[in-house]
Amino acid sequence: TRQQTSPPAHPMSRRGSPRPADLEEEPVSSRVCDGCCGEKEAEATTKEPSAAKAVSQGLRSGAHLSSVKEVREAMLPGMRSIQGILYPKFICQDAVHSLQHIFSPRGGDVILVSHFPIRGLQRLMVALVEGRKDPWAEGLLDRPYFLEAGASRWGVDDYLALIASWPGRRCFKTHAPPQLFPCRWPIEHHGDGIPPKVVVLVADPRYALRICQECAGCLGIGTVRMSVYIAAVLELRLLFGGGYFEHAIAWAQESLEKPQTVRLFAAERFASHDPAEVRDACGELATFLEIPRPDEAVTQLVEATFDRPADATAALQKDACKPHEAINGGPLIELVGPRLESFQEGLMELSGQVHEIFGQLVASWVDCSHPCLARLGTVAIRGAASLLPRPLKGAAAHEAGLCRPCVFALRGICRNSASMCAYCHAEGHAKTKRASRGRRAQRRGARVRTPSPEDLSS
């Protein structure tokens, strides 16, 4: 049965996940949402002191936020608390609770769970689940996949009627923890066919929080320095969806208890610049989702992911949460390495107290019984020593002269296509001259004859 109270804080984090003191919990109503969000927001606006209102409006107009106090003043007016978990103000509490009592996913449905915003990654997931061949296609995310947002906007009954008309497999998303999961839980499936699946996307906390910081502007908050954002998240817990670390641990426990229904996947594997690694990650996901002929579907999709079409920018501009990196010529899914570097640089500007908080939270993953979180925590706790190499291919890397050419492609013998090779196949690289057979044999002979140091000789 679903617990209607917030889960206890993980023992490694004694601070728990307190909500800001001046963010009041709204009473739970049993009625279906019929537009009460607008009424409640209007009430909140009239009650807000004029001085604070002026400050928050100024900060949300696109200003640069340079202190934790400014971040707090900018974010709180756009938040509401539901069972102690922070949600955007446009999410209606009645809609969330109604979905929990009414909505039952049908066979084949997939619900993506991620604490951090997913942009290009959602395109890849939707294309895989719904059998689309092009993750760059215009209108791919036109449907209201975000469960709580759709139910809050249209009302629960109208929203459920709308999604019931969608043919085939459906790929919803939510950012909720298990206790606020927007459907009947645990999911029940009777009869034949593919049961509903829950795909939980977790990521290195540095990568996830950097993406959250990038998307803060989508909510009209303004731009925030990385160091300031880290302090606001770790010290004040100003983060939609509750604590990032606690959210992942709660879902990890669900996956251990319900392995046929819930599974964790590391988001970084889908963001790799190596097509082979992305193909392996998509293959594991396709197997879990019981997609027919997974090898064929995955290969086609991954090749399309690494083959950016000419009209990609125009198609991506219409997404609600725009993948700015992809719009400006980058890969579909946000690169990991530069974001880890940005987070580490921001963390270095902060006090030892913030470092200690971050270390304790990461340690809660290292000590977690779920191998996926333990792996991610072990990498994150290494800090700057875990930073990834820059991409070996891509238009930007090639134009800057930072790519690594494929020596096999230069000789026309690479076994992979340009889209599936981890190295650069673009034109303009100088062809390397291979040493003659005799010269190669001479080098091998020289290595064999080289004596070992005296202290290593037996």
Residue 83 lies in a domain: yes
Identify the CATH number of the domain in which residue 279 sits. Answer: 3.40.50.300
CA distance 201 to 206: 14
pLDDT bin (cut points 50, 70, 90) of residue 404 is confident
Nearest Cα residue to 368 out of 202, 240, 217 = 202
pLDDT on residue 280: 96
Is 94 in contact with 105 (CB distance < 8 Å)? no
Residue 413 lies in domain: 395-444
235 & 136 share domain: yes
> Is 30 within a domain?
no
Alpha-carbon torsion, ordered 450, 451, 452, 454, to 10 deg: -150
Q: Indicate if 207 and 70 belong to the same structural domain.
A: yes
pLDDT tens for 427-457 read 887 766 666 677 767 766 665 555 655 554 4
296 shares a domain with 192: yes
442 burial type by CB count under 10 A (0-12 exposed, 13-18 middle, 19+ buried): exposed
pLDDT class for 390, splitting at 50, 70, 90? low
- For the chain, give the percent of residues with pLDDT over 70: 78
Last-in-domain residue among 359, 386, 413: 386
Q: Is residue 142 part of a domain?
A: yes
364, 386, 408 - which closes a domain: 386
pLDDT tens string 174-224: 999 999 999 999 998 887 889 999 999 999 999 999 999 988 866 667 788
**Residue 10: closest CA among 244, 184, 172:** 244
Q: What mean pLDDT do residues 313-317 have?
A: 93
- Does residue 270 sit in the same domain as residue 289? yes
Looking at 341, 357, 386, which one is the last position of a domain? 386
What pLDDT score was predicted for residue 392? 63
Are residues 179 and 278 both part of a single domain? yes
The total number of structural domains that make up the chain: 2
Match 């034949």 to its residue by tokens.
192
| 158, 292: one domain | yes
Output the pTM of the full model: 0.76
41 lies in a domain?
no
Q: Note whether 363 and 413 are same-domain residues.
A: no
Distance, CA of 298 to CA of 302 (rounded, Å) = 6
User: What's the mean pLDDT when you consider all of the chain?
Assistant: 82
Q: Specify the length of the chain in residues.
A: 458
- Is position 288 within any domain? yes
Cα(99)–Cα(182) distance, rounded to whole angstroms? Answer: 5
Distance from C-alpha of 343 to C-alpha of 354, rounded to nearest angstrom: 13
With a pLDDT cut of 90, the percent of the chain lying above it is: 57
Is residue 381 located within the same domain as residue 399? Answer: no
Do 182 and 233 lie in a common domain? Answer: yes
Task: Decide if 84 is inside a domain.
Answer: yes
Per-residue pLDDT at 52: 34
- 373 and 412 in a single domain? The answer is no
- 279: pLDDT confidence band, cut at 50, 70 and 90? very high
The angle at the Cα of 173, spanning 109 to 122, to the nearest 5 degrees, equals 100
Residue 453 belongs to a domain: no
Residue 38 lies in a domain: no
Best-predicted range by mean pLDDT among 9-18, 134-143, 182-191? 134-143
Considering the domain architecture, whether residues 285 and 413 belong to the same structural domain is answered as no
Q: Do residue 141 and residue 279 come from a single domain?
A: yes
